[in-house]
Amino acid sequence: NSNQSLAGQHWVITAGPTREAIDPVRYISNHSSGKMGFSIASAAQSFGATVTLIAGPVNLSTPSNCNRIDVQSAEDMHQAAIDQAASADVFIACAAVADYKVAQVSEHKIKKTSTNDAMSIALVKNPDIVASVAALAKKPFTVGFAAETQDVEQYAKGKLVRKNLDMIAANDVAKQGQGFNSDDNALKVYWHSGNKDLPLTDKKQLAEQLVVLINDRMQND
Ligand code: PMT
């Protein structure tokens, strides 16, 4: 890309799912493929930004000229995000972070027993990564995502305010052919003084449109 408008900026992007261990062989996770976050990293890099991609476990190759930090759990992602955010101009939280982790990870494989037909696992809250970044004294321009299955606008705007974000990109993850693990997506983007719809297209195009919009808003804020 000949447009190098992001030259000199450090963009940090989280992508993919997290894995919360239950025991040495099992975990809790979700269907995020990392495609959306990796596309954003690639787009920001093509506009000249220095890009750090903090990736949960995904099967994607690293976009060219991006620094990649691989993590597993939300705790690991949180640590990497705080470290990187110190030097970031923009932080984009595209990862599907597990809201809860297992309270007591079992050291050994949990055995099936003949006496218990039911079992339960206690969960405790994970740190909120994007909210932690937005709470830093030297806060980067912070963009969250919102994965919703209903009342998209209301929930997304709630997260924008509650997490102290500068912008939020909401997607409807109940619709077929978009959202988790699809090649396409559509976003409704909100900031404090406006909003913009980015209609259904492939994640690469959509990522470029989002990067342009973020850069626009940074210049007008
Ligand atoms: O990876 P793909 O298959 O391409 O799919 C893309 C996607 C659907 C995963 C992506 O577009 C998306 O919506 N990502 C956010 C998923 C999510 O966890 O949304 P949420 O509404 O639960 O979380 C809101 C925001 O808080 C997100 O920016 C999330 O990264 C962040 N968060 C959530 C929990 C937590 N403990 N820490 C966080 O930072």
| Greater model confidence, 59 or 3 | 59
Q: How confident is the model at residue 3 (pLDDT cuts 50, 70, 90)?
A: confident
Mean pLDDT, residues 46-55 taken together? 98
| Greater model confidence, 63 or 2 | 63
CATH code at position 139: 3.40.50.10300
* Ligand 1 mean position, distance from CA 17 (Å): 8
Mean pLDDT, residues 157-173 taken together? 97
Residues 6+ apart with CB under 8 A from 85: 12, 91, 133, 136, 140
Alpha carbons within 13 A on the beta-carbon side of 206: 26
- 91-111 pLDDT, tens digit each: 999 999 999 999 999 999 999
- 188-216 pLDDT, tens digit each: 999 999 999 999 999 999 999 999 999 99
Integer Cα distance of 134 and 170 in angstroms: 18
Provide the pLDDT for residue 220.
84
Start-end of H helices in 96-183: 129-134, 152-162
Whether 1 has a pLDDT exceeding 80, the answer reads: no
Catalytic, 30? Answer yes
Mean pLDDT, residues 134-153 taken together? 96
- 82-95 pLDDT, tens digit each: 999 999 999 999 99
ipTM of the complex: 0.99
The answer to whether residue 3 sits within a structural domain is no
Integer Cα distance of 116 and 124 in angstroms: 23
The reported pTM is 0.97
The answer to whether residue 97 sits within a structural domain is yes
Provide the pLDDT for residue 216.
96
- 67-83 pLDDT, tens digit each: 999 999 999 999 999 99
Ligand 1 contact, 147 CB (< 6 A)? yes
The answer to whether residue 85 sits within a structural domain is yes
Domain of 85 in residue numbering reads as 10-106+118-220
Ligand 1 contact, 146 CB (< 6 A)? yes
Ligand 1 contact, 34 CB (< 6 A)? yes
Whether 64 has a pLDDT exceeding 80, the answer reads: yes
Alpha carbon separation from 87 to 112, 133, 203 (Å, rounded):
48, 11, 27
Exactly one of 30, 67, 164, 195 is catalytic; which is it?
A: 30
Residue 221 buriedness (CB in 10 A; 0-12 / 13-18 / 19+) = exposed
* Ligand 1 mean position, distance from CA 4 (Å): 28
The answer to whether residue 22 sits within a structural domain is yes
- Number of structural domains (the chain) is 1
Whether 221 has a pLDDT exceeding 80, the answer reads: no
The answer to whether residue 161 sits within a structural domain is yes
Could you identify the residue written with the tokens 């995000």? Answer: 81
The answer to whether residue 112 sits within a structural domain is no
Residues 6+ apart with CB under 8 A from 163: 128, 130, 131, 134, 144
Mean pLDDT, residues 44-50 taken together? 98
